[in-house]
Structure formats: C-alpha cells, structure tokens
Amino acid sequence: MLEAELIEIGRKAKEAAYRLAAASTNQKNEALLAMARSLEERSDMILTANEADMEAGRAKGLSNAMLDRLLLTPDRIREMAEGLRALAALPDPVGEVVRMWTRPNGLQIGKMRVPLGVIGIIYEARPNVTVDAAGLCLKAGNAVILRGGSEAINSNRAIAGVISMAAANAGIPEGAIQLIGTTDREAVNIMLKMNDYIDVLIPRGGAGLIQTVVHNATVPVLETGVGNCHVYVEEDADLEMAQRIVLNAKTQRPGVCNAMETLLVHEAAAPAFLPAVAEALRAKGVELRGCPRTREIVPDCLPATEDDWKAEYLDLILAIKVVDDLEEAIEHIHTYGTKHSEAIVTSSYKKAREFLQRVDAAAVYVNASTRFTDGYQFGFGAEIGISTQKLHARGPMGLEELTTTKYIIFGDGQVRT
C-alpha cells in the first residue's frame, strides 16, 4: 500500500525528470522566480501551517533549539524566496561541455553536463530545506522527492504545495517537485531501496539519520555532514594568526560540521601559545579538555579522554592535545579525523606542503579557518551539503555536483576495426 504509493511517486518523478532534462535555462529560472513570488504571496497560509507544527512541538516537549529550527517567520520566508532568486541568477550547469577532444580517426568526443535524474532528499526539522533542496534540484534539471521530518510535516506540506504548484504553472513538468506526505517511518526504508526510481539520495541532518541512510540504502548516496575537524599549530606558526584562526574555527559558529573540535599544538609552541589562547577561548565560553601535557600548561583544564579525540561536539567544547611534531599531528588526524576539514598554521613552506599532501580530507587548509568549507565561501553560489564521501563529490556540493555527464561523439561514418 505505502510501497505502491511511493512507487507511483517515483514513477512520476522519473517521467518528470525525463522532460525536465530538456527544459531551457529560461524556463527553469522563470519557475524559480514564480516559486519565490508564490512563497511570499502565500506566506500567511504557510505561517498558519507552521504554527500547527510549533504547537505540536511544544506539546511534545521539543527543545528550544529544535523549536527554533522549526520556526518560520515572515523574514525567514522572505529569505527562502531570496534563496530561489539567487539560484535563478546562477549559471545553469546543464549543457556545459567540460572538455572536448579529437581522436586520430577524426572522432570528436565531448563530455557534457546533464542532470542526474531523480534526487531523493531525506532531512530533519528545518522546513527551509524543502525550498532550498527543491530549488537546487530544479536548477540542475533534476526531479526531487522530498522526505522531511515529522515535526515539520504541516509546514513542509504547505511549502511543497505552494512551490510545486508555482513550478507547474510556470511550465515545469508535474512530478518534478514531490513531497512524501506521510510521516510513516517505513517510507524512508522503502525510499532507500528504490533503485529503479531514484538516482541519488542525499540525507541532510544529524549523524544518526546519515548513518541510517548510508548503511541501509542500495540507492547511491551522497553522504554529508559529520566533521571532527582539527587545527594544528606548528612550532613556527605566527601565534597571533594561530589564535585568530583557532578562535574563529571554534567559536564563530560551533554547531556546524566545519567547526574545529580538536586543537593540536606542537610542543615547542605550546608554552607560549596555550595560556593566551585558553584565556581567549574561555572568554568566549569554551570548555577546554586537554591531554596531560596541555594540563601542565593550562592547569585548570579538564582531562581529555579517548572519547574526546573522537567527538564531534558541535558545541562550545574543545579538546586540546600537545604533539611532538608534524608527524604525530598527521597521525592523530588520520586516526580520529572524519576527513572533513583540516588546517595547519605554519610559516614553513615544507611543512605546509607536507600537510597538504598527506592529510586526506575533503578540504585541507594552510593558514586559514576550517569554517570556510562551504559552497558559498568557495564561490559556488549555492550548496546542497558538504560531502564527506569520496565518490562523485567531495566537500561542498553546489549545482555542478547535482549533475552527471554524458559523452557526445561527432563522427562522419567511423567504424571500429
């Protein structure tokens, strides 16, 4: 029953994707602008639906942080609309010929960007993801199947209804934007195996959600999110710069995946660096947990355990370890890191090069904050998430990462001998 409904959604999405692939850039942009207008015009209806979710959330005892993620306001709806307008202004990735070459037999071969097809997005409480994901998928020529969290079901239904109707009225094939309207958890399990209807799944949310999807899906997954990021301060680092980077990486926005979780400090730099940086971090409300050598220098620091080296706190907590040298720093990152974003602060050309070469992560920095790992900061103009896997896309994913390629081959009668 549920499975049949989902397969029908999948079939419609597949059909829509086939037609959408042929849509012009103008058609897609006009639809994005119409979706933006419609969101603003119908914001009262969306806010009413959101109020129902907020009430249910309060009754369920959701935390204030959760309730804030769930909350929509006229300003937040305006931001969602602006996000769609910004997408309309970006270049269309579809149709770009990445490269083209000619073979000795005269065959001319080009590699052209085309949409992926049908993208499934599985996400949690934030209703803005509904707009965001639908807009990104549409701009890249893909149909999308949205599965939001049950806490936001009324908001998501209202938003998806508004934007899918606006898109259809602007000539986008029906079925290009679909929301799974039920909160039945079984729907996710079915989605994970819909290989014939969904080309890619992108989970967006906490580690639990992502691991459930990665370990159960047979549909290809773009894994996003978990970041246990390090900043390593070398003995020769500019300590003023190091402090600025450490403070930024930990405190500018601690709840996100590219925030630093562990600080590594060369033993020769530790005595001069740690007392000042500890004071500055504490002034920002950061709790410090250090290795024994750290605690000799910062006596009132809590002891760090094995679990601290593994932790993605997403909070104002920092683990600190003093290391012997670059080698130990790289080994520590290899052992405990999640291959997300890793930084070194150094004035040594040789050490910068070695860190860049040897550290295996989506983004490896010299003398900059890990907080830059972001589609907007990288200049992509948009972001669907930050991939922590190696296949297809690694690091911030923008519109290009929502496409695949096909080879186009121009001949004049060539046959193979």
Binding site for a second copy (CB under 8 A): 18, 21-22, 101, 103, 107, 109, 114, 116-117, 193, 195, 199-200, 214-218, 220-222, 238, 241, 244-245, 247-249, 252, 334, 356-358, 360-369, 371-373, 377-379, 389-392, 394-395, 404-417
| Minimum distance of a second copy from residue 408's CB (angstroms) | 5
| Minimum distance of a second copy from residue 82's CB (angstroms) | 20
| Minimum distance of a second copy from residue 80's CB (angstroms) | 23
Choice between 50 and 142, CB closer to a second copy: 142
Q: Which residue has the tokens 């908001």?
A: 155
Q: Which pair of structure tokens corresponds to residue 95?
A: 């149709």
Closest to 196 (Cα-Cα) out of 2, 9, 400: 9
| Minimum distance of a second copy from residue 219's CB (angstroms) | 10
Choice between 61 and 413, CB closer to a second copy: 413
Choice between 182 and 252, CB closer to a second copy: 252
Choice between 34 and 118, CB closer to a second copy: 118
Choice between 283 and 408, CB closer to a second copy: 408
Q: Which residue has the tokens 């409480």?
A: 125
Choice between 131 and 330, CB closer to a second copy: 330
Q: Which residue has the tokens 């971090």?
A: 281
Choice between 151 and 223, CB closer to a second copy: 223
Closest to 32 (Cα-Cα) out of 91, 96, 81, 95: 81
| Minimum distance of a second copy from residue 396's CB (angstroms) | 8
Closest to 60 (Cα-Cα) out of 126, 156, 158, 150: 150
Q: Which pair of structure tokens corresponds to residue 252?
A: 């500018």
| Minimum distance of a second copy from residue 188's CB (angstroms) | 15
Strands (DSSP E) contained in 126-241 are 143-147, 177-179, 200-204, 229-233
| Minimum distance of a second copy from residue 42's CB (angstroms) | 35
Choice between 315 and 410, CB closer to a second copy: 410
Query: From the CA atom positions of the chain, what is the Rg in Å?
Result: 24
| Minimum distance of a second copy from residue 189's CB (angstroms) | 13
| Minimum distance of a second copy from residue 142's CB (angstroms) | 10
User: CA dist 9 to 165, 167, 204, 361, Å?
Assistant: 16, 17, 21, 37
Closest to 46 (Cα-Cα) out of 195, 142, 161, 135: 161
* CA end-to-end distance (rounded Å), the chain: 53
Choice between 103 and 284, CB closer to a second copy: 103
Indicate the residue type of 234: E
Closest to 201 (Cα-Cα) out of 162, 147, 282, 245: 147
Distance CA 34, CA 126 (A): 22
Choice between 70 and 172, CB closer to a second copy: 172
Structural contact between residues 101 and 410, judged by C-beta atoms closer than 8 angstroms = no
Helix axes 74-89, 43-60, angle to 10 degrees: 120
| Minimum distance of a second copy from residue 227's CB (angstroms) | 14
Q: Which pair of structure tokens corresponds to residue 87?
A: 């997408």
Structural contact between residues 343 and 230, judged by C-beta atoms closer than 8 angstroms = yes
Q: Which residue has the tokens 């459930």?
A: 212
Strands (DSSP E) contained in 196-350 are 200-204, 229-233, 260-266, 287-290, 302-303, 317-323, 341-345
Choice between 12 and 42, CB closer to a second copy: 12
Structural contact between residues 330 and 355, judged by C-beta atoms closer than 8 angstroms = yes
| Minimum distance of a second copy from residue 259's CB (angstroms) | 10
Q: Which pair of structure tokens corresponds to residue 166?
A: 């606006």
